[in-house]
């Protein structure tokens, strides 16, 4: 009953954060990551509110994250002639502290790399529940038994598919796709720039963004579920170009640059719905695999809080997952509500010209200020146990 060995799938945000806590509580941790290395750079992500900043402080990484934060970027919506129509502030987009996803992953990874086992370039291919744990098979490494397995492998989680069932049962397509290309221009610099501005051009059901801290190019477009090969980047690029061919402003220039940008990634905007049941048998899910909502703006903070809660509950239960998992489900079901039912696609890329005008009006109105305030209160919404303080010092 008392778990000692834990296999984590995914080394982005949730995985290394969970590894950090489990290692600190005395578990033996193995992390398997499909990528050949830790992916550097990437889009900017952020933390909002007291709860999330408290977890970072308890991890001892809060100062470093503030040191490595981005300069923030305002997002200005322009018409085809370059006239400003509306602005979304860097405070709204970047929360209390904004950092590149790759930088954040590196902060967690550096604190766990020499104490946890990392298997890069591999993936779990099968999971078999046994009486006292889970037997995991890998695509490359030999199979092994673990006491517990945790899926931190994102919206398209392999662990969720293997342990809970097919993706269609848990992932809802929100009617939009997004694509990012190129890291932010300053992404790999050691020192962070001052505040910058990203420019956006709209058409019904389309938004194209150039610059800022998310990526050098970001696109959002409305579409029913597309049938495409997720490994065929050339086809995805072509598809994106067709979608934006008629959009004005600087978009034709952006599309011309697209083939030269690396780090291209296209995916559906989706919401993961587990109805508060993030565990089954010896398997649990943390982060986007459990409560993801693409571009919802709070995924990173929830992932880090989820890692903290799962590890803390396992530690105070002495490794007894039958006690810890129900507590984790209950706490995170409440907290993950801040990921909400929102559909960022519908807000950012309305499907009609009238909808676009309404969005621009809303961004300049008092109602938007109230929404900002609500979002920040919601992120503060939970009192967390001080798990490290509950346990005897190691
Ligand atoms: C353009 C963009 C902008 C965003 N902006 C924000 C923002 O402003 N604020 C915010 O809070 N969040 C933002 N997010 C969301 C945020 O990135 C996620 O919510 C957060 O990273 C959750 O982390 P995760 O570790 O659960 O999942 P992910 O970051 O998705 O990581 C999953 C990891 O698992 C690995 N993996 C996948 N499949 C397998 C497998 N079969 N075997 C092994 N490994 C596997 C992947 O390679 C990856 O390393 C944004 C996301 C995007 C794409």
- Statement: residue 295 has pLDDT above 90: no
Angle at the Cα of 347 from the Cα atoms of 358 and 343, rounded to 5 degrees:
150
Of ligand 1's listed atoms, the one at least distance from the Cα of 287 is: 26
Asked whether 219 and 204 are in contact (CB, 8 A), the reply is no
234 Cα–ligand 1 center, Å: 22
**Is the separation of the CB atoms in 268 and 176 below 8 Å?**
yes
- Residue 351: pLDDT band by 50, 70, 90 thresholds? very high
User: Rounded CA gap, 8 and 136, in Å?
Assistant: 11
Q: What is the pLDDT of residue 391?
A: 83
Report yes or no on whether pTM surpasses 0.85.
yes
For residue range 177-222, list pLDDT tens digits in order.
999 998 765 544 455 557 788 999 999 999 999 988 778 899 999 9
User: Between 335 and 71, where is the model more confident?
Assistant: 335
Arithmetic mean of pLDDT, 249-263: 92
Computed from CA positions of residues 71, 67, 12, 287, in that sequence, does the dihedral angle turn out positive or negative? negative
Q: In this model, does residue 386 exceed pLDDT 70?
A: yes
Q: How far is CA 55 from CA 62, 142, 168, 379, 380, in A?
A: 8, 35, 32, 13, 12
Pick 183 or 10 by higher pLDDT: 10
Q: Residue range 231-242: average pLDDT? A: 90
Atom of ligand 1 nearest to the CA of 267: 53
| pLDDT at residue number 380 | 65
Ligand 1 atom at minimum distance from 265 CA: 53
C-alpha 156 to ligand 1 mean position (Å): 10
33-37, 72-76, 183-187, 229-233: which is most confident: 33-37
Q: Check residue 208 and give its pLDDT.
A: 97
Separation of alpha carbons 274 and 138, rounded Å: 25
From the CA of 81, how far away is ligand 1's center (Å)? 35
Of 7, 119, 288, the one to substitute when testing ligand 1's pocket (max ligand atoms within 8 A of C-beta) is 288
Q: In angstroms, rounded to a whole number, what is the distance separating the alpha carbons of residues 365 and 359?
A: 10
> What's the pLDDT band for 376 if we cut at 50, 70, 90?
low
pLDDT at 63: 96
**How high is the pLDDT of residue 192?**
59
| Interval 70-120: pLDDT, tens | 888 899 999 999 999 999 988 788 888 999 888 999 999 999 999 999 999
Residue 193's pLDDT is 58
Distance CA 265, CA 191 (A): 26
Mean pLDDT of 364-374: 76
Q: 88 CB contacts (<8 Å, ≥6 apart)?
A: 74, 75, 76, 77, 363
Distance 43 CA to ligand 1 centre (A): 10
305 has pLDDT over 50: yes
pLDDT the model gives residue 189: 47
pLDDT, average across residues 303-332: 97
Ligand 1: which atom is nearest the Cα of residue 155? Answer: 30
The stretch 164-181 carries a mean pLDDT of 95
Ligand 1 mean position, distance from CA 386 (Å): 26
Cα–ligand 1 centroid distance for 13 (angstroms): 7
pLDDT of residue 381: 67
Residue 62 has pLDDT above 80, yes or no: yes
Residues 6+ apart with CB under 8 A from 297: 46, 48, 93, 95, 344, 375
Q: Which atom of ligand 1 sits closest to the CA of residue 17?
A: 25
Q: How far is the CA of 131 from the centre of ligand 1 (A)?
A: 32
Instruction: Compute the distance from residue 359 Cα to the ligand 1 centre, in Å.
Output: 27
Summarize the confidence of residues 371-392 as an average pLDDT.
Answer: 76
Q: How far is CA 123 from the centre of its chain?
A: 19
For residue 126, what are the contacts with CB-CB under 8 A and spacing of at least 6? 136, 137, 143, 162
pLDDT of residue 94: 84
Q: What is the pLDDT of residue 188?
A: 45
pLDDT value of position 366 = 78
CA of 149 to the centre of ligand 1 (A): 18
Best of 8, 12, 296 to mutate for ligand 1, by most ligand atoms within 8 A of CB? 12
Q: Lowest-pLDDT range, 158-172, 175-189, 201-215, 295-309? A: 175-189
Contact 47, 13 (CB under 8 A): no
Atom 49 in ligand 1: residue holding the nearest Cα: 12
Tell the residue nearest (CA) to atom 52 of ligand 1: 295
Q: Which atom of ligand 1 is nearest to the CA of 298?
A: 11
* pLDDT above 90: percentage of residues in the chain: 69
pLDDT at 243 over 80: yes
User: What does pLDDT average to over the chain?
Assistant: 91
Q: Which residues surround ligand 1 with Cβ inside 6 Å?
A: 9-15, 32-35, 43, 45-46, 101, 123, 152-154, 158, 180, 214, 287-288, 292, 295, 297-301, 303
- Note whether 97 and 69 are within 8 A (CB): yes
CA of 292 to the centre of ligand 1 (A): 9
């Amino acid at each position: 009953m008392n778990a000692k060995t834990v296999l984590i799938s995914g080394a982005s945000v949730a995985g290394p954060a969970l590894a950090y806590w489990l290692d600190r509580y005395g578990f033996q941790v193995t992390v398997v990551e499909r990528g050949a290395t830790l992916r550097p750079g990437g889009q900017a992500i952020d933390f909002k509110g007291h709860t999330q900043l408290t977890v970072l402080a308890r991890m001892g990484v809060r100062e470093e994250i503030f040191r490595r934060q981005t300069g923030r970027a305002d997002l200005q919506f322009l018409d085809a002639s370059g006239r400003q129509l509306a602005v979304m502030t860097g405070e709204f987009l970047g929360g209390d502290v904004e950092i590149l996803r790759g930088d954040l992953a590196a902060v967690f990874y550096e604190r766990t790399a020499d104490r946890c086992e990392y298997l890069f370039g591999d993936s779990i291919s099968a999971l078999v529940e046994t009486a006292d744990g889970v037997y995991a098979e890998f695509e490359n490494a030999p199979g092994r038994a673990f006491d517990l397995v945790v899926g931190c492998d994102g919206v398209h989680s392999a662990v969720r598919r293997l342990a809970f069932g097919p993706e269609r049962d848990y992932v809802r397509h929100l009617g939009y796709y997004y694509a990012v290309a190129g890291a932010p221009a300053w992404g790999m610099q050691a020192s962070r720039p001052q505040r910058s501005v990203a420019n956006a051009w709209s058409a019904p059901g389309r938004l194209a963004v150039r610059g800022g801290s998310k990526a050098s190019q970001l696109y959002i477009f409305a579409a029913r579920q597309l049938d495409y090969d997720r490994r065929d980047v050339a086809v995805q690029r072509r598809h994106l170009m067709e979608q934006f061919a008629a959009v004005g402003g600087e978009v034709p220039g952006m599309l011309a640059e697209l083939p030269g940008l690396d780090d291209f990634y296209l995916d559906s905007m989706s919401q993961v719905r587990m109805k508060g049941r993030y565990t089954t048998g010896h398997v649990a899910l943390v982060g986007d695999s459990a409560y993801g909502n693409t571009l919802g703006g709070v995924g990173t903070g929830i992932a880090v809080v989820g890692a903290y809660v799962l590890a803390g509950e396992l530690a105070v239960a002495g490794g007894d997952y039958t006690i810890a998992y129900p507590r984790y489900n209950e706490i995170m079901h409440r907290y993950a509500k801040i990921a909400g039912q929102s559909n960022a696609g519908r807000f950012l890329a309305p499907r009609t010209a009238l909808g676009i005008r309404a969005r621009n009006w809303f961004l300049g109105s008092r109602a938007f200020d109230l929404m900002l305030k609500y979002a920040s209160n919601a992120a503060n919404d939970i009192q967390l146990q001080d798990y490290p303080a509950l346990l005897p010092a190691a």
